[in-house]
Structure 1
Amino acid sequence: MNAKVVSCGIVLLDPHGRVLLAHATGTNHWDIPKGQGEPGETESQSARREMAEETGIVLAASRLVDLGRFAYRRDKDLHLFAARAAPDELDLSRCVCVSLFPRREDGVMIPEMDAWRWTVPSDVASYASRSLTRLFETALSLPELHRKL
């Protein structure tokens, strides 16, 4: 039996409790910045690297709150951290994704994420995958996290 893949990510909230979602290029879904770790990385390092690669936002480890590991899909768990966006991180027009992948049609390298939005918790289901929506509706309440951060 194969062990589950673990993706590490950051739930970044703005001062109003909205969550940062990034649009996955070539799909119709939005996600939190997350991805698999590289050899030798801690979960925190993986989550911070993915955030920097997918948004250009660089977070110090000291800003992260470790939320722990969550069941996500049959084949994947998430190790999540939370942080509050600083005033200079709120302008999403400054976001840039440096993580590239080959486009299916022609192999041209394109950014993994191509748009970003602050999303109120009640709108997450309109944008995110069913798996992420279910996580936020059951195991990780965004309004509760907003109150705690």
Structure 2
Amino acid sequence: MVKDKIVSCGIVLLDSEGRVLLAHATGTNHWDIPKGQGEDGETEIQAALREMVEETGLLLSESRLVDLGRFVYRRDKDLYLFAARAAGDELDLSRCTCTSLFPRHGDGVMIPEMDAYRWTLPVEVDQYASRSLARLFQTTLSLADLHRRL
């Protein structure tokens, strides 16, 4: 029996210089794009927009998103991604907040899923992102091409 893969929906948000928004996953040493699993009845785009709000506080309209499709991510997970260009009022990352909480390992205290944000040049993604995300941007989804396309 083949178990269905988890599908995580997210948004690749680029600024006018082609830098990608990465959020630091609390309690880890890596950064990620805002993404997560859909809830019952949600479409991919609804899940991606909700995750963006929960993990960054940024509310994007559906009409701004470019559907990039589904990508192989890991053995147990695929990504369904959208892309958008950040607007002027979305560039100040000090305004970002994460309302998605999880219990901290060890003491169970509820802490934010994401605790810092950065605009990251495509050539710097490997230094910050997980291996799976870095590999996706190196081999399948070129940030430089996406920057030109948006």
CA distance in 1, matches of 2:104, 2:80: 28
Q: 1:1-149 counterparts in 2 under 5 A?
A: 1-149=2-150
CA distance in 2, matches of 1:32, 1:71: 15
Amino acid in structure 1 at the alignment position of 2:21: L
CA distance in 1, matches of 2:117, 2:106: 24
TM superposition shift of 1:105: 1.4
For normalisation by structure 2, the TM-score amounts to: 0.99
The superposition leaves residues 109-144 of structure 1 with CA deviations (integer Å, 9 ceiling, x where unpaired) of 000000000000000000000000000001100000
Identical pairs, percent: 77
Aligned partner of residue 107 in structure 2, secondary structure? coil
Moved over 4 A (4+): none
Aligned partner of residue 80 in structure 2, secondary structure? strand
CA distance in 2, matches of 1:105, 1:92: 30
Unaligned runs of 5+ in 2: none
CA distance in 1, matches of 2:27, 2:105: 9
TM superposition shift of 1:79: 0.2
Aligned partner of residue 83 in structure 1, secondary structure? strand
CA distance in 1, matches of 2:147, 2:31: 20
CA distance in 2, matches of 1:11, 1:72: 14
CA distance in 2, matches of 1:66, 1:83: 9
Aligned partner of residue 28 in structure 2, secondary structure? coil
CA distance in 2, matches of 1:17, 1:119: 9
CA distance in 1, matches of 2:73, 2:111: 26
Q: CA RMSD in A?
A: 0.3
Amino acid in structure 2 at the alignment position of 1:53: E
TM superposition shift of 1:99: 0.1
CA distance in 1, matches of 2:119, 2:106: 30
